[in-house]
Amino acid sequence: MLPDRTASFAHFAFMPLPNFTMIAFTNAVEVLRMANYLSGQPLYRWSIISPEGGPVAASNGISLDTGPAECLGTPDIVFVCGGVDVQRMTTPEHLSTLRRFSRTGVALGSLCTGTYALAKSGLLSGYTCAIHWENMSALKEEFPDIRFLKELFVIDRDRVTCTGGVAPLDMMLHLIRARVGTARVTQIAEQFVVEHVRDNSAQQRIPLIARLGSANKSLFEVIALMENNIEEPLSREELARLASMSQRQLQRLFHEHVGMTPTHYYLTLRLRRARELLLQTDMSIMKITIACGFQSACHFSKSYREAFGIAPTSERRTQVAPLATRA
């Protein structure tokens, strides 16, 4: 979607499905509220709708009052908000409502599992999109003509799809930046005590157990050892001994289930931790080097560049709104 179009967004509509996830919905709306508050003018307005109107209950039991979708007019974008048991909660009326908005040229989006409703309505065919990691595998099988990405949110032409939790906050900050500017986005993030605004290249971290299943307890035991020993990494020999297996068994276990050596996987964990510290704290490069078990800043910088395609110092400079670098 071109920045010119997102800059014109002023009226956002949200269509919660029954059992929708309140945290995803709230994070999206609060960005708009705070943008209005800090600017001192009503830049944005939002409507909450459903096919027939009336209360819609979230998965936490709190209900929202909604207005009938047909009485809304033409908003700039409509987000369908999903949550628990989304397949059963998506009704034919929800699908026809989304299709009607699509026919009028309204941009469409989704929060959390709401991507399912867009896919079911046929409005994501040929698009790339995002959805919460718990639902990704099943939807890939059900909708082979849609490309599901691991990103926190995906903007593909007139579709804006987002995962759940706090990711809608990052997505909304990205959408409003073209209109309010980077400095205002930074102010909003600071109001919410957000240390780092993630962009649309950030990926949701899919738990290994969700990708591999829970069958191999030995693998998760070794990975737990790695995660608990980042600052002083264990040797392959120590990992094998603590997991009560031979080094050869350890090597085979990672090759079969993870597709890389234990050493490479361990390095990936340490670099991921380093990136979190780099982007979300004001720790010096040397302190991060030590905290993540690297022997020298030179070795750390080389490994970081090979993993992420950018040097640690450059990565920190290019971030939009870490609190360590005030706008």
- Over the stretch 60-99, which tens digit does the pLDDT of each residue have? 999 999 999 998 889 999 999 999 889 899 999 999 999 9
- CATH 1.10.10.60 domain span(s) along the chain: 208-317
How high is the pLDDT of residue 1? 60
Give dist(CA 74, CA 308) in Å, integer.
42
User: What is the spatial distance between Cα 192 and Cα 195, in angstroms, rounded to a whole number?
Assistant: 9
> Which superfamily does CATH assign the domain made up of 208-317 to?
Homeodomain-like (1.10.10.60)
Domain 3-191 carries which CATH code? 3.40.50.880
In sequence order, which residues have a C-beta less than 8 Å from that of residue 221 and are 6 or more positions away? 243
pLDDT number for residue 323 = 38
Domain with CATH 3.40.50.880 in the chain: 3-191
Q: Taking each helix axis from N to C terminus, what angle separates 182-191 and 22-39, rounded to the nearest 10 degrees?
A: 120
- CA-CA distance, 150 to 163, in Å (whole number)? 9
The DSSP bridge pattern shows strands 128-130 and 147-149 to be: parallel
pLDDT at 159: 96
CA-wise closest residue to 199 among 180, 181, 175, 178: 175
Which one is predicted more confidently, 202 or 306? Answer: 306
Beta pairing partners, 111? 81
Mean pLDDT of the chain: 88
